[in-house]
Every structure is written in C-alpha cells, then in structure tokens.
Amino acid sequence: MSSTDLDAPPLKSLLLAIVAVLGLHVLAAIALVAIKTPELKPEPKKEMLPLEIKFVSLPAKMVSTEVEKQTVTAKKEVQPEVQVQPAPQPEPKPEEPVKQPTETPVKPKEPVVKNVEPKVTPVIASEKPRPDTSQKVAPKEPLPKPKVDNSAAEAQRQAAAQAESERQAKKSEQEAQARAEQEAKRVADAKAAVQAKAAAEAAAAQARAEAEAAAALAQSNEPVSFTASSANWASAPNFSFPERAARRARSGDTLNVVLVLRVNKQGGIDNVRVAQSSGNPLLDKEARRQVRSGKFKPFTKNGVPVVGDVTLPISYAVP
C-alpha cells in the first residue's frame, strides 16, 4: 500500500461528512422558509410645500463700483521692481595736521545687494462690470433721411380726400332730401286722412240728415211743390175741348187754363183747383174733370214718396 492511500481519510467518514453538510443546508433552507418576512409598509407621502423663489436684483452701480475697486486695488498692489542702489560712502574726516600716524588702508565695504523678489498679488478674476442702466445713454443723432419727392402722392391723397368729401356731401344731401320727402309724404298723408275723415263724417251726417228728413217726410203729409216737367204720368188723361163749351167760344181760338193738382203718395190726384181760368167756366170745369182721370207716378224726395202739388197748364183749341 502506498503512502497516499494511508494519508487519505476513510470513505465512510467522507460520506458522513457529506451527509451532515447536506442536512445542515436543508435545515437552513427550512428555517429560512419558516421565518416570516416583515411586511414593508409604504412610507406616507410627505406633502411637498411649494418652493418660494425670490429674485433679488443688486443695483448695477454697486457691482460696477466693487469691480472697479477690486481692479484698482489689484493694480495698486502690484509693486514695481526695487532697484538696489549702493549705500553712499561716508565722507572722510579731515586729518589732523599734528598727528601723522600711519594709516592702514581700509577697504570700503562693498554694498550688500539683496535680491528682493517683487511681491505680485494675484489678480482676482472678477466679473465683468455690468453696464449701468441707470445712466442715460445719449441718443444717437438720426441720420438725415434722403428727401423724397412726395408731391405726386400728396396730390393724389388730396384728390382722394376731396372726392371722399364730395361723396359724403352728396350722400348727406340725398339723405336730407329723402327725409324731406318722407316728411312731406307724412304731412300729406295726415292731411288726406283728416280730409277723408271729415268727408266721411260729413257724408255720414248728410246721410243721417237725409234719412231723418225722409223719415219725417214719410210720416208727414206736408205737400212738396213740383213742376209739370218733373211730373211723370203713370196714365195720362185725354184732354179734349167739350162741345157744350163751344157755344160761348169762337172757332179757331185757343183757351188756356192752369190747374194745381194735389197728388198723394201713391200718385193719385186727390184735389184739383183752378189757378188761372180760361174765361170759360164750362171749360174750366171740364178740365178739372178730365185731369182726374189720369194718375201720376209717386213723387219722391230723397227716395221717400211724398205728397206733391203740381202746377199743370192746359191748352184747348176751339174746333
């Protein structure tokens, strides 16, 4: 048996270890399944208050002044390079004439030159100065416009204005004339209406009067005079010279008698009287008898039958 076989664990132990590991995994899985997961509650929504934004505008002058100050300060802080000048040598004192000591030559001290680095202050990058809007900007003088000949346009405009004025005047005149015609027509119509009303009232009054008169005439027996020409015979009598009256007359003579007849509303002759005698009483009597044989058409006035008196002349020729 080799050395590797001796060092390897037995197969039974290996299987037990695998089974134990699998059992632990199964138990862990069951435990995880059995544990209730906490319910996640939704957080209440917070009401977002509206943001209030307030714009603060700084005056332009102050900003420009601060920028100018910073620029000037930066310019002032820049110092020029320092030029080192040698220190002035002290003037030698005048030698005393009495003592003449031996002088040892003294070398003058060389001036110590210090390298002074110039202090350069950093220039702060500042904002560009805003233009001062409060200062009034001088208006630029407008360039002279080229002169344009507007005479033709002006003449055309004036002609159009004059034409429009004439049109408006003509329109106003026509409207005034139309109003005058309407007013005249209204007055004429009103006058005609008044006249028509008056005529109608007059006609109605006349008709009423005639009706009243007719009614009065119909009830009244007062005779109305008529002429022989306005009398119409319904049946005319036969006028002939009587023989008994010829004894007192000469042959060839013409005898005239005038009678007045009272005619009733039916046209009958109620009464006869002699208005003018013929001179022969027998002829007058015979004329009265003969005329009674006739009958007139009823006399009317305003359409109403009335009693009439008729004057009737009769001429007789002696045979």
Closest CA to 289 of 307, 300, 274, 302: 274
| Beta bridge partner(s), residue 313 | 258
Average pLDDT over residues 31-56: 68
- Give pLDDT, residue 37: 64
* Mean pLDDT of the region 266-280: 90
Does 194 or 299 have the greater pLDDT score?
194
pLDDT of residue 1: 47
Q: Higher pLDDT residue, 102 or 40? A: 40
Give the mean pLDDT of 178-188: 94
pLDDT category at 61 given cuts 50, 70, 90 is low
Least confident of 21-25, 138-142, 171-175: 138-142
* Number of Cα atoms under 13 Å in the Cβ half of residue 290: 20
Considering only CA atoms, which of 147, 155, 134, 157 is closest in space to residue 65? 134
Q: Give the three-class secondary structure for 312.
A: strand
Does the pLDDT at position 159 exceed 90? Answer: yes
| Mean pLDDT computed over 305-311 | 88
Mean pLDDT over residues 192-202, rounded? 94
pLDDT of residue 95: 52
CB 290 within 8 Å of CB 200: no
Tokens 């930066």, located at residue: 74
Q: Are 317 and 280 in contact (CB under 8 A)?
A: no
The per-residue pLDDT of the chain, averaged, comes to 76
| pTM (2 d.p.) | 0.34
Highest mean pLDDT among 157-171, 213-227, 289-303: 157-171
CA 169 to CA 187: how far, in whole Å? Answer: 27
At 229, the pLDDT band (50, 70, 90 cuts) reads confident
**117 secondary structure, DSSP code:** P
Residue 286 CB neighbours (<10 A) = 21
